[in-house]
């Protein structure tokens, strides 16, 4: 029997209040639709913040996981299970360059694996020397390189390492001392990246090819190309956080292939949409040869050897079967193309609204950021003291559309990759209705 307390009251009394939650209690989902406890239906263009990549309760994923549920759910990473190996192979194929995969449970955890990879690389390989023809500093005394360069405005997760890496002060407040070894550079600013990486302690660059939490900002091809050449010249690692933009969301398997074709990173992190709603994180590490201080040469993907890293749940047979099916559906149903075509259609449709309340619309595939005018609160006093993005997201909820706020002024559309044109048109119409209901902006 259900507890007589309403859901929100259960949360109030028993759940740590780390989230400022919207007053919505969901009980069911199917495809691009969600239903709340009162039976009201919503078009879901948040997809659990880019997670339910095939919508809710996809029949193929459910059937495959149900089958696995009846045979084997979990053993331990002390042993081999076939689905983990198969998924690793598929992910390496998706990257298109030889390497290996580490499995974990979330985006923050995938990024932790990247920080540890960079630390071990910095501690166990030689540094860069401008005087040496090979680029390596032959001196055994070269101090370990420990600084990971990340971008202002980035988001990398909520662990201590994640908030140290994240280029936003608001996530760090109250959590000193943070782990050392991170410096932030301005996204898409090549001269600043060149200057900051000239620090001899710099060992890696970590960048989101499309910054999601900041409000959908794509890296320029020149920026990622420069980051690649700096890493080559200085024997550093180029690492991409594809937790939000990876595995189809931009219209390609790899977000970097959409924004900077031809640039290959040394390591990548994924999570969110990888298993269509089930918790899974993963990291790809290149087989690029690296020379250790000991003089041995090994592939980078073997640097995290036995005992150096791990997690109990990473890559269970149940979740890996789910992820394999998600990736198969994306391929079988041509959903990369769908993300490209419908992303473009959504972008054009929102721009065509020519709403005076919209400052700009940015988009890469099915990652769309709708930025409201800067002086929204002044022009629309009813919204105060709420952030304009939250005010509009709540109005959209009332009208039956789920979207995600980003900062104070941006609303994200991150629908499932199998969304159709009818759903995009309906979402655009709801957005138009809500913006029109705000009235005209006085001259």
Ligand X SMILES: Cc1ncc(COP(=O)(O)O)c(C=O)c1O
Choice between 101 and 271, CB closer to ligand X: 271
DSSP 310-368: --SSTT-HHHHHHHHHHHHHHHHTTHHHHHHHHHHHHHHHHHHT--TTEEEEEEETTEE
Choice between 104 and 392, CB closer to ligand X: 104
Give the contacts of 89 (CB within 8 A, at least 6 positions apart).
none
Choice between 44 and 213, CB closer to ligand X: 213
Cite the DSSP H helix spans in 207-263.
221-233, 255-259
DSSP 133-187: TTSB---TTPPPP-EEEEETT----SSHHHHHHSS-GGGTTT-PSPPS-EEEE-T
CB 383 within 8 Å of CB 376? yes
- The whole-angstrom separation of Cα 31 and Cα 47 is 10
Choice between 165 and 379, CB closer to ligand X: 165
Q: For the CA atoms of 400, 24, 408, 189, what is the dihedral angle to 10 degrees?
A: -90
CB of 361 to ligand X, least distance (A): 20
Q: For the CA atoms of 403, 406, 410, 416, what is the dihedral angle to 10 degrees?
A: -30
Choice between 402 and 430, CB closer to ligand X: 402
CB of 168 to ligand X, least distance (A): 12
Per DSSP, the three-state class of 257 is helix
CB 117 within 8 Å of CB 304? yes
Residue with the shortest CB distance to ligand X: 107
> Which residue ranges make up the site for ligand X (CB under 6 A)?
49, 106-108, 111, 155-157, 208, 212-213, 241, 243-244, 271
Choice between 92 and 113, CB closer to ligand X: 113
Q: What is the largest CA-CA distance in the chain?
A: 74
Q: How far is CA 253 from CA 54, 107, 341, 345, in A?
A: 14, 17, 15, 20
CB of 70 to ligand X, least distance (A): 28
Choice between 81 and 244, CB closer to ligand X: 244
CB 416 within 8 Å of CB 52? yes
CB of 259 to ligand X, least distance (A): 14
CB of 48 to ligand X, least distance (A): 11
- Which structure tokens are listed for 289? 């040869």
Choice between 167 and 212, CB closer to ligand X: 212
Q: Interior CA angle at 212 toward 207 and 216, to 5°?
A: 105
Question: What strands lie across the sheet with 358-364, from one edge to the other?
Answer: 358-364, 367-372, 410-413, 404-406
CB of 159 to ligand X, least distance (A): 8
The structure tokens 């390496």 sit at 92
Choice between 173 and 354, CB closer to ligand X: 173
- The whole-angstrom separation of Cα 160 and Cα 274 is 24
Choice between 157 and 181, CB closer to ligand X: 157
CB of 163 to ligand X, least distance (A): 11
- The whole-angstrom separation of Cα 18 and Cα 239 is 29
CB of 356 to ligand X, least distance (A): 30
CB of 129 to ligand X, least distance (A): 33
Choice between 157 and 317, CB closer to ligand X: 157
């Amino acid at each position: 029997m259900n507890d007589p307390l309403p859901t929100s009251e259960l949360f109030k009394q028993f759940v740590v209040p780390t989230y400022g939650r919207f007053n919505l209690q969901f009980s069911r989902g199917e495809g691009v639709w969600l239903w709340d406890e009162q039976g009201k239906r919503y078009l879901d263009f948040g997809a659990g913040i880019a997670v339910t990549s095939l919508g809710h309760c996809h029949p193929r994923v459910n059937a495959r996981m149900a089958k696995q549920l009846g045979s084997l759910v979990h053993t331990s990473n002390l042993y081999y299970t076939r689905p983990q190996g198969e998924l690793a192979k598929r992910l390496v194929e998706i990257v298109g360059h030889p390497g290996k995969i580490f499995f974990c449970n979330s985006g923050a955890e995938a990024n932790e694996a990247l920080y540890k990879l960079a630390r071990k690389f910095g501690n166990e390989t030689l540094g860069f020397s401008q005087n040496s023809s090979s680029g390596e500093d032959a001196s055994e005394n070269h101090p370990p390189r420990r600084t990971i360069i990340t971008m202002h405005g980035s988001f990398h997760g909520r662990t201590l390492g994640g908030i140290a890496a994240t280029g936003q002060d608001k996530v760090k407040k109250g959590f000193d001392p943070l782990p050392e070894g991170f410096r932030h550079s301005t996204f898409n600013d090549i001269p600043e990246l060149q200057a900051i990486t000239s620090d001899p302690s710099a060992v890696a660059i970590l960048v989101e090819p499309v910054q999601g939490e900041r409000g959908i900002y794509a890296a320029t091809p020149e920026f990622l190309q420069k980051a690649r050449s700096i890493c080559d010249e200085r024997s550093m690692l180029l690492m991409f956080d594809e937790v939000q933009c990876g595995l189809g969301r931009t219209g390609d398997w790899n977000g970097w292939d959409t924004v900077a074709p031809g640039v290959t990173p040394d390591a990548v992190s994924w999570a969110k949409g990888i298993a269509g709603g089930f918790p899974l994180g993963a990291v790809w590490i290149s087989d690029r040869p690296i020379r250790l201080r000991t003089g041995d040469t090994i592939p980078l993907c073997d640097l995290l050897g036995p005992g150096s890293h791990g997690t109990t749940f990473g890559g269970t047979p149940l979740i890996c079967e789910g992820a394999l099916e998600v990736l198969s559906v994306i391929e079988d149903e041509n959903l990369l193309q769908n993300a490209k075509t419908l992303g473009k259609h959504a972008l054009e449709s929102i721009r065509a609204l020519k709403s005076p309340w919209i400052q700009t619309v940015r988009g890469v595939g099915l990652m769309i950021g709708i930025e409201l005018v800067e002086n929204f609160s002044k022009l629309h006093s009813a919204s105060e003291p709420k952030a304009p993005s939250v005010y509009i997201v709540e109005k959209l909820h009332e009208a039956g559309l789920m979207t995600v706020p980003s900062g104070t002024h941006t609303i994200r559309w991150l629908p499932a990759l199998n969304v159709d044109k009818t759903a995009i048109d309906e979402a655009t119409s709801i957005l138009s209705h809500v913006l029109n209901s705000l009235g005209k902006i006085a001259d």
